[in-house]
């Protein structure tokens, strides 16, 4: 098993006994130790462990304060922590369990009991990790487009709604870019839908590559895509759109599409702006800009115009 354990105790003898006991049954591949809660917390921040064995009474930072520190960090929650105590005090046990300890072991401990309790917690953590990964995979499948790997229309709707509310609240910028692939039907007709899918995937990859982690690129439908760029001014959104236009124009494809140049047309709209009162008006302005890009020659970026919107 490729797993790690952190043993926190102010007694080197106790740490050594715990580690030797666990090594005898090969439960872990990595063993780390710390003198007190503060050193243990710093060790976890540097590299989280799969399980922690922590003494209750220690100098500088005791086990209870260590539990509180771990609970304050989202990235550390879910690590099973077994407390070690030399005092059979039910009040202290209840306090530790309420602070997030998963189990208690009284010192001096029996080696067999230690191994049994650790095995149980490792098995529970393994099952929880598998469930978390399955849920994350389900979320990805629910929110992403199978072909392109971009977010799907449902996720786009939720994300755009949240970002628009945030932009309204803080009077921050929000840029929307709508684009589609020029003459995509011709590509499908001349080279087949399989090669058309390759084009969609390549354009999607180009769109994703130019965005920040908190930006959103989604497939809206067919050959049409949308990018949501929080905090970007209209000029910044146009710059993103232009970079993408050039990147797509420079894409190359294998046979039978070698030599084929794929282009896109893009429309850009931004909040806050006088014509934008809601998501529908923002989307409408970007869509009208895209339409204008199509009408004026394709393979170009057009910006929203106030005349595009009327109540």
Rounded CA-CA distance 35/61 in Å is: 10
| Cis preceding-peptide flag for 242 (omega within 30 of 0) | no
Q: DSSP of 71-129, one letter per residue?
A: HT-GGGTT--EEEEESS--HHHHHHHHHTT--EEEESSPPHHHHHHHHHHHHHHHHHHH
**223 carries an active-site annotation:** yes
Rounded CA-CA distance 66/99 in Å is: 10
Which residues fall within 8 angstroms of residue 142, CB to CB, at 6 or more apart? 154
Lookup result for tokens 């609240």: 169
What is the per-residue burial (b if ≥16 Cβ within 10 Å, else e) of 192-221?
eeebbebbbebbbebbbeeeeeebbbbbbe
Helix (H, G, I), strand (E, B) or coil at 179: strand
Q: Which two tokens stand for residue 123?
A: 């098995």
Q: Point out the catalytic residue in the list 33, 39, 163, 223.
A: 223
Tell me the catalytic residues: 223
């Amino acid at each position: 098993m490729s797993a790690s354990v952190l043993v926190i105790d102010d007694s080197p003898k106790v740490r050594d006994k715990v580690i030797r006991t666990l090594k005898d049954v090969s439960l872990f591949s990595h063993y780390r130790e710390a003198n007190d809660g503060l050193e243990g917390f710093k060790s976890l921040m540097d590299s989280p462990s799969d399980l922690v064995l922590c003494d209750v009474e220690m100098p500088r930072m005791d086990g209870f304060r260590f539990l509180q520190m771990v609970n304050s960090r989202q990235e550390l929650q879910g690590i099973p922590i077994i407390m070690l105590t030399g005092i059979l005090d039910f009040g202290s046990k209840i306090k530790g369990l309420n602070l997030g300890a998963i189990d208690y072991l009284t010192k001096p401990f029996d080696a067999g009991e230690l191994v049994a309790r650790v095995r149980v917690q490792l098995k529970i953590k393994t099952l929880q990790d598998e469930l978390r990964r399955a849920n994350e995979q389900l979320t990805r499948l629910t929110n992403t487009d199978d072909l392109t790997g971009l977010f799907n229309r449902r996720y786009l709707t939720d994300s755009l709604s949240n970002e628009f509310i945030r932009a309204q609240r803080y009077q921050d910028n929000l840029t929307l870019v709508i684009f589609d692939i020029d003459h995509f039907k011709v590509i499908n007709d001349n080279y087949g839908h399989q090669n058309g899918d390759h084009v969609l995937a390549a354009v999607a990859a180009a769109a994703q590559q130019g965005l920040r982690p908190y930006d959103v690129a989604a497939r809206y439908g067919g050959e049409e895509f949308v990018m949501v760029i929080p905090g970007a001014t209209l000029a910044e959104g146009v710059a993103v759109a232009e970079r993408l236009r050039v990147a797509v124009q420079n894409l190359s494809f294998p046979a039978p599409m070698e030599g084929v140049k794929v282009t896109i047309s893009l429309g850009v709209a931004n909040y806050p702006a006088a014509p934008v009162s809601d998501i529908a008006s923002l989307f409408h302005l970007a869509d009208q800009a895209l339409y204008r890009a199509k009408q004026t020659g394709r393979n170009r970026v057009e910006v929203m115009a106030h005349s595009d919107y009327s109540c």
